Homo-oligomer: A and B are copies of this chain.
Amino acid sequence: MVDALPSTAVPSVAESGAGDGSEFDQATAVRPRRRSQPRPSALPRDGSGDGAAFAVGVFDATVDPGWCVGPKPNGGYLLALAARAAGATLADAGIDHPDALASTAHYLRAPDPGPAEVHVEVLRPGRSASQVRAIIEQAGKRCVDATFTMGVLPEEAPQPWWSGLAPLVLPPIEDCVRIPAAREGMPFVVSIMDRSDLRLDPAVMGFATGDPGGRGELRGWISFADGRPIDPLALLFFVDAFPPATFELAPTGWVPTLSLTAYLRARPAPGPLRISQRAQLVADDRVDEVCEVWDSSDRLVAQATQLAGIRIEPGISAPTSA
């Protein structure tokens, strides 16, 4: 693995996470290698800010084997890792925009657990929000290309002005079913299920006994297994932590995310999250899924949408459509 910089290195906000010793903070740690040194780009340099070059950062990171689905790291985990490097680069440039208000990651190839680099470029620094691009690279190959609108989610969020969405209703957490990292009949270990505590509504558990409910929705409670508080950075992991919602349509193999977009709407209140993950259309070997994340105060704190590849076995017919 990659050695951390010696302790004489300039300290970075990236080195002190919300939970410090927690599994999530360790797995998303980024260690600055070079900093704020602009380099020539194939793409046009931003002309703002008195002609000064934009800030860049290069970080060492370790893709953690404990945050995987089978042999490959989870997409939300990688998004959080990239966001942490983005926030650290802004902080090093004196810009306090730690929260990823809008994020999109395009997944080019799945990295393996082990050393990786995160290359960050501030596209546009702003007063209330800044745009940043971060690329996770491994062995000289780009793996994840993420773009962020970074800003600040207020400590005490004002009440929403209007909502067209009703809070997710779930059975009590003690009536829901914990999803294990390994189970008889599962083709691989889902190690993120040891990092998080996911409890699904029994009404969407048909897939576990080979009898998918046909609604294309999973819903349940989730939190970190080690009790780490849930902050905005953690929401980027949780928007992609559920199994594919298509489990409740048909048994499928790997459902690789092509593109994941997340919006963070408020800092979550303490306590486990309630999440709904819903498939909308399965067509032409692709599926889109929508994710809504509610906190203990009934606030919608995060939303996400993703497009993923999917292979349905030829003999399998679809449940009746809505």
Binding site for B on A (CB under 8 A): 38-48, 56, 101-102, 104, 106, 108-109, 117, 119, 121, 123-124, 129, 131, 133, 135, 137, 139-142, 145, 147, 149, 153-154, 157-166, 215-217, 249, 258-259, 261, 263, 265-266, 278-284, 286, 288, 300, 303, 305, 307, 312, 318-319, 321-322
What are 7 A-B pairs at a CB distance below 8 A?
Answer: A41-B43, A42-B56, A101-B286, A149-B258, A158-B284, A266-B283, A281-B300
Instruction: Give the Cβ gap from A224 to chain B, nearest Cβ, in Å.
Output: 25
Indicate which residue in B121, B216, B261, B321 contacts A259 across the interface (CB closer than 8 Å).
Answer: B261
Q: Are A42 and B121 in contact (CB under 8 A)?
A: yes
Asked if residues A161 and B312 are in contact (CB atoms below 8 Å), the reply is yes
CB distance from A232 to the nearest CB of B (A): 12
Q: Which of A106, A124, A140, A147 has the most CB of B within 10 A?
A: A106
- Do A321 and B162 have beta carbons less than 8 Å apart? yes
Chain B residues whose C-beta falls within 8 Å of the C-beta of A147 in the assembled complex: 104, 106, 145, 147
Docked pose: A317 CA to B49 CA in angstroms: 38
CB neighbours of A157 from chain B (8 A)? 283-284
Chain B residues positioned under 8 Å from A104 (CB to CB): 104, 106, 147, 259, 261
* Contact call B265/A137, Cβ cutoff below 8 A: no
Assuming A44-B135, A101-B286, what are 5 further A-B pairs, CB within 8 angstroms? Answer: A42-B119, A45-B140, A101-B258, A123-B145, A164-B281
Residue in chain B with minimal CB distance to A136: B44
CB-CB under 8 A from A165, the residues of chain B are 280-281, 322
Are A164 and B124 neighbours in the complex by a CB distance under 8 Å?
no
Does A263 lie within 8 Å of B307, measured CB to CB?
A: yes
B42 x A38 contact (CB < 8 A): yes
Find the B residue at minimum CB distance from A139. B47
User: In the complex the two chains form, is A259's CB within 8 Å of B102's CB?
Assistant: yes
Contact B322–A166 (Cβ < 8 Å): yes
Residues of B within 8 A of A319 (CB): 162
- Given the complex of chains A and B, what is the CA–CA distance between A160 and B285 in angstroms? 9
